[in-house]
Amino acid sequence: MANQAEQNNQELLRQKVAEQFPDEDSAKILALLYRYESPAAAGRLRVQLAILKLSKGNVDRLREYVEVARTDYRDVLFWAETPEQTKVVSPRIANHQQQEARAKFRRYLMLLLLAALLVIILSARLTTTTGERLAMSGIFVLAGLNIIWRIQRGRL
């Protein structure tokens, strides 16, 4: 019975490949799809069908989505099964957008740090002794430099 189900799954996959890639060698497309492996046959078929849907007949996209699925198959399933909730973008575009968001966040952290240092320096002027001012300023400058170093190294 399980063998029959697996055969049905394989036949369905071959049909979908023929529909999506009529001008391509089916064996080549299937070989790319088989790069995604899963212990559960039904789960594997679901992900492979999602990859086919997202690729829209483009072999390069197919390769990209196979790699995404190998990293985290849930992304591929989410994009394919809930198109109304998310705009499907290529993994390269998504990576670029993520890098831009991180850079913007780092700039935001730098501004926060500068504002905090300004407040600290101004409040240090209100302390009573010069020693207290120097100690407070030194601690916060070191903390600020540590944060700047972490931001530049991508650790924050």
Give 6-16 pLDDT, tens digit per residue.
Answer: 778 788 888 98
Claim: this prediction has a pTM higher than 0.75: no
CA distance 154 to 11: 47
Are residue 37 and residue 56 in the same domain, yes or no? yes
Are residue 68 and residue 114 in the same domain, yes or no? no
Least confident segment among 26-35, 55-64, 73-82, 126-135: 126-135
- The predicted pLDDT at position 142 comes to 76
- The predicted pLDDT at position 145 comes to 76
Using the predicted structure, report yes or no on whether residue 64 has a pLDDT greater than 90.
yes
Number of domains in the chain: 2
CA distances from 133 to 114, 116, 142, 145 (A): 18, 16, 14, 18
Are residue 65 and residue 18 in the same domain, yes or no? yes
Query: What average pLDDT score do residues 31-56 get?
Result: 86
- The predicted pLDDT at position 106 comes to 80
- The predicted pLDDT at position 87 comes to 63
Are residue 7 and residue 51 in the same domain, yes or no? yes
Query: What average pLDDT score do residues 97-126 get?
Result: 76
**What rounded mean pLDDT belongs to the chain?**
79
CA distance 56 to 64: 12
Are residue 44 and residue 69 in the same domain, yes or no? yes
Are residue 122 and residue 81 in the same domain, yes or no? no
The rounded percent of the chain whose pLDDT value lies above 70 is 76
Are residue 111 and residue 126 in the same domain, yes or no? yes
Are residue 123 and residue 66 in the same domain, yes or no? no
Domain that holds residue 27: 2-88
